Amino acid sequence: MKSSQLADAIAREVSRRIAVRELRPGDHLGAQALADAHGVSRSPIREALRILEKARLVEQRLNRGFYVSAQADTALAVAEPTLLAERDGPYQRMAEDWRRDLLPEDVTEQAVRDRYGLTKVQAQDILSRAQREGWAERKPGYGWRLLAVAKSPEAFRQIYEFRMVIEPAAMLAPDYAVVTAKVEELRAAQQRMLDHDIAHLPVEQLLGAGAHFHEELIKFSNNPNFHAALVRTNRMRRLFEYRASGEVRRFVEQCTQHLAILDLLQRGEVLEASYAMKKHLSRAFARKVEIMRERDGAQV
């Protein structure tokens, strides 16, 4: 892979991590740490950071290096599609192959390279990303093991049942306290999705934004156990969500319902918001079941 192509790929990966908030405004982007993570020299990393700086996703601070820009969210809304992760790329194909039992449980980096026509760095990136998203792990000796997590329709159903219990309940916790500034931030993000992101961002970034919305709301409970449980659950369901994500209309419905929940919380109608959350999750699950049945006859 040529240096410029490698830098573009690294810039896309970093932009994806910013979009799904694995990297947040103010986070330091150490060139050596990025080089080590991608298995490359610092040269393509510097080139990638310049690409991201031009897009206003990162900023350079004098004598301190690069940081995720405070304006990253705004910059993502107008970013060129080529800067964002590709739709139907090798990561999505690998996730779908695993979900359909077309891959063995134990795989090697070389096998992934051969199957999807990847470079060594690309294969490492894909496997590391699968590890971050909870469906792959390094084996103690050599190679990787792919994990079932929410691979089956039954596991997917159980996850939504669990969410329909804990998310509405968290809103009724005695210490639940709405943070007005955070509500406004979430509202702006949901409106940006309706105005721009749904039409431009890849599915994994839209799914990440949706998960972030729910994780931020559950933080209002001031009970870290609720938040930790939801974060773990969201990671587990990601694999199946790629298949069940559906068309643009599903994301429009999701954002519209999110905004309605925010309206209730802002008015202090927490009980009503809890009921709306349960309905929202129930409708989302029903819609995804419908999509899966239309696509491949999955029974949930």
Instruction: With a cut of 90, say whether residue 124 has pLDDT above it.
Output: no
Q: How confident is the model at residue 217 (pLDDT cuts 50, 70, 90)?
A: very high
Q: Which residue is it, tokens 């103690």?
A: 140
CATH node for 3-83: 1.10.10.10
Query: How much is the pTM?
Result: 0.65
Q: What CA–CA distance (Å, rounded) separates 300 from 148?
A: 16
Closest CA to 151 of 228, 238, 232, 281: 238
Contacts of range 157-163, beta carbons closer than 8 Å, 24 or more positions apart:
157/285, 157/300, 159/233, 159/236, 159/237, 160/237, 160/281, 160/284, 160/285, 162/229, 162/233, 163/214, 163/230, 163/233, 163/281
Q: How confident is the model at residue 295 (pLDDT cuts 50, 70, 90)?
A: low
pLDDT score of 20? 67
Instruction: With a cut of 90, say whether residue 3 has pLDDT above it.
Output: no
Instruction: With a cut of 50, say whether residue 78 has pLDDT above it.
Output: yes
Per-chain mean pLDDT for the chain: 85
pLDDT score of 151? 66
pLDDT score of 284? 87
pLDDT score of 1? 44
Q: How confident is the model at residue 245 (pLDDT cuts 50, 70, 90)?
A: low
Contacts of range 168-171, beta carbons closer than 8 Å, 24 or more positions apart:
168/274, 168/275, 168/277, 168/278, 168/281, 169/274, 170/217, 170/218, 170/220, 170/221, 170/223, 170/226, 171/217, 171/220, 171/221, 171/270, 171/273, 171/274, 171/277
Q: What is the mean pLDDT of residues 34-40?
A: 83
Q: What CA–CA distance (Å, rounded) separates 214 from 162?
A: 14
- Pick the more confident residue, 164 or 3: 164
Instruction: With a cut of 90, say whether residue 186 has pLDDT above it.
Output: yes
pLDDT score of 19? 75
pLDDT score of 47? 93
DSSP 8-state class, residue 196: I
Domain 150-296 has CATH 1.20.120.530: yes
Delimiting residues of CATH 1.10.10.10 domain(s) in the chain: 3-83, 90-147
DSSP 8-state class, residue 86: P
Q: What CA–CA distance (Å, rounded) separates 237 from 210?
A: 12
- The answer to whether 266 and 272 are in contact (CB under 8 A) is no
| Class of 90-147 in CATH | mainly alpha
Q: How confident is the model at residue 195 (pLDDT cuts 50, 70, 90)?
A: confident
Cα distance from N-terminal residue to C-terminal residue, the chain: 42
Instruction: With a cut of 70, say whether residue 97 has pLDDT above it.
Output: yes
pLDDT score of 187? 95
Closest CA to 194 of 253, 238, 247: 253
Q: How confident is the model at residue 268 (pLDDT cuts 50, 70, 90)?
A: very high
Delimiting residues of CATH 1.20.120.530 domain(s) in the chain: 150-296
Q: What CA–CA distance (Å, rounded) separates 215 from 77?
A: 21
Q: What is the mean pLDDT of residues 264-274?
A: 97
